[in-house]
Amino acid sequence: MSKETIAFIGTGVMGKSMAGHLLNAGFPIQVYNRTKSKTEDLVASGATWCGTPGAASKGADIIITIVGFPKDVEEVYLAEDGILANAQSGCLLIDMTTSSPALAKKIADAAKEKGIGSLDAPVSGGDLGAKEARLSIMVGGSQDNFNRALPIFEIIGKNIQLQGEAGAGQFTKMCNQIAIAAGMVGITEAMAYAKQSGLDPFQVLKSIETGAAGSWSLSNLSPRALKGDFAPGFYVKHFIKDMRIAIESADEMGLELPGLKLAKTLYDKLAAQGGENDGTQSLLKIYDPEA
């Protein structure tokens, strides 16, 4: 039986690897990215280049997006030549961008009116998780649509959870980002403290990463930062966007999140110093300008 055709829109730091796994699994891929050169490897491996999100959507059974900001999500889905204007009835939309829960609900409602299924399915795991096909995938939408998408998700991820109806995936990703934000402040302060006290921070990591302080960020991002490797597994500018979404939605719920607001203040300072295109581990520069 032939596999469903997938439109994959957004082949950046994470999307390129995700699309590659699906291509390698034998799915026909129609690919679009705003910067065409970022799709060249996929096209060379058999994907079909399309000039717009709408063109990529035509004839696709599954349409996956992972773009930068909520405004980009809104544009690719709701523009005159966007996804919803070109997607066929019965197809399934899967937005894997970290975006606004309210926008996820808006897209779900618009899709339903056209007889189209939809899921919001943001991911966590960064560039390594995408490359190694072990992303955590947080999903909002119906059980039927989740069941249809599950074989796709299992190709690119390991921890796949349906959290509730439309928007629930995005709310869950905000929980993830809130935990990471406060954690990154603690991690970078610990590394700065280790260096200032005359310790070898790499040796310190050996002691603390397997104890109560242990986390994925501590084990994977601290060594990068200490080596001066600030290449993005996840961009500072996108993390700031996520924190802003989380703060706005928390404010709407009447929930005060002082730890998150502090973290955003520090990342805003880092971005103002020219670090918006670095990885999140570059927060160390705020504490150690020589890093």
CA atoms in the 13 A half-sphere facing the CB of 288 = 23
46 with 76: CB under 8 angstroms?
Answer: no
Calculate ∠ Cα 24-107-88, nearest 5°. 60
Contact partners, residue 233, CB within 8 Å, separation at least 6 = 13, 126, 127, 128, 221, 224, 279, 280, 281
Lookup: tokens for 28? 């026909």
Choose, from 105, 173, 195, 264, the residue flagged as catalytic: 173
Enumerate the β-bridge partners of residue 117: 92
User: Taking phi first (over 0 means left), then psi (-120 to 50 degrees means alpha), and beta for anything else, what does residue 228 get?
Assistant: left
Query: Catalytic: 173?
Result: yes
E runs forming strands in the chain:
6-9, 29-32, 48-49, 62-65, 92-95, 117-120, 123-124, 135-140, 157-164
190 with 213: CB under 8 angstroms?
Answer: yes
E runs forming strands in 108-169:
117-120, 123-124, 135-140, 157-164
Maximum Cα–Cα distance across the chain? 64
Distance of alpha carbon 189 from alpha carbon 175, whole angstroms? 22
Residues noted as catalytic: 173
